[in-house]
A = this chain, B = another copy of it.
């Protein structure tokens, strides 16, 4: 899913070249070189670079600044890569995108520095490229991501977590980088202030949708989806949106709390997993989460309506449509 025909194939090739360049391992015959190579080969859908380049098309300087925009697109993908390296430490993830995670291949200790290394390369390139207008936004987004992750940790195993707190957490965890993509693209290509504001709003809504859709996938697919083990989140104490709605109902409240207790004690079985799915479904958690997803889709589309009609706008609208597809 989300393999886009965004009409920016040529640009994405430049992004790949830039990524390889920024993650170059020259002169590092040692393990540092191996780590950088693994990061640069780790693939991914390049969603954030695509968002950035699409947003940039609303500015007057897209064509003459194409090279610079591709550089920024590569750098935003590196922010994502660095965050995944550190997230995998915290989540003990053995795999990432079908390959061993950095933490499982090199150990958690090395993964700490590997993530820092990627972050340091981003900072270097932001200054080297003279990205003075948007560089600070990169720092801002990383800060929000950290706050989101820390916020989520504070909510672990806590059935009292509010939907508001959940949204706050995913705003950092997921939406911050989508917002950054839209902001950096729009500002670097010289988009008007009002246009940039609409694009940033779009990025935020889209980011929230992206996370909620991911949450939902865990409940509508029975096997593992996108390499992620089903219901891993719950096992680790993360209450995703469908669960959060379900646990607030009279029918779901007590039994889901009991399952959460089991998860906390590390006794959450496969049968429990099935039971959880049944409870969340029956208490309307999935419907409620879908409704929330729909609300953000409406907001995202509203933001798009504030933008001049063009191919990029159609593609962004298509992205929104895909996120609410069954």
Contacts and interface: CB of A to CB of B under 8 A. Distances in A.
Contacts of A110: 150, 153
B146 A117 contact: yes
A60 B109 CA distance: 43
B139 A112 contact: no
Contacts of A149: 113
A221 interface: no
Given A32-B151, A89-B109, A120 B140 contact: yes
Report the contact-size class of chain A (Cβ under 8 Å from the partner).
35 or more
A121 B143 contact: yes
A318 to B, nearest CB: 33
A311 to B, nearest CB: 32
Interface stretch (A50-58, A130-138, A253-261, A281-289): A130-138
A124 B150 contact: no
Interface in A111-158: 112-117, 119-128, 130, 132, 135-136, 138-140, 142-143, 145-147, 149-151, 153-154
A32 B155 CA distance: 13
Contact of A109 (B90, B125, B135): B90
Contact of A153 (B86, B109, B126, B142): B109
A203 to B, nearest CB: 18
A85 B119 CA distance: 16
Contact of A119 (B30, B116, B125, B132): B116
A117 B116 CA distance: 11
Interface of A: 28, 30-32, 35, 86, 89-90, 108-110, 112-117, 119-128, 130, 132, 135-136, 138-140, 142-143, 145-147, 149-151, 153-154
Nearest 8 pairs of A and B residues by beta carbon = A123-B139, A127-B136, A124-B139, A120-B142, A120-B143, A117-B146, A127-B135, A90-B109
28 contacts: A30-B151, A30-B154, A31-B153, A32-B147, A32-B151, A86-B112, A89-B108, A90-B109, A110-B150, A112-B112, A112-B115, A113-B149, A113-B150, A114-B150, A116-B119, A116-B145, A116-B146, A120-B146, A121-B139, A121-B143, A123-B126, A123-B136, A124-B139, A124-B140, A124-B143, A125-B139, A127-B135, A127-B136
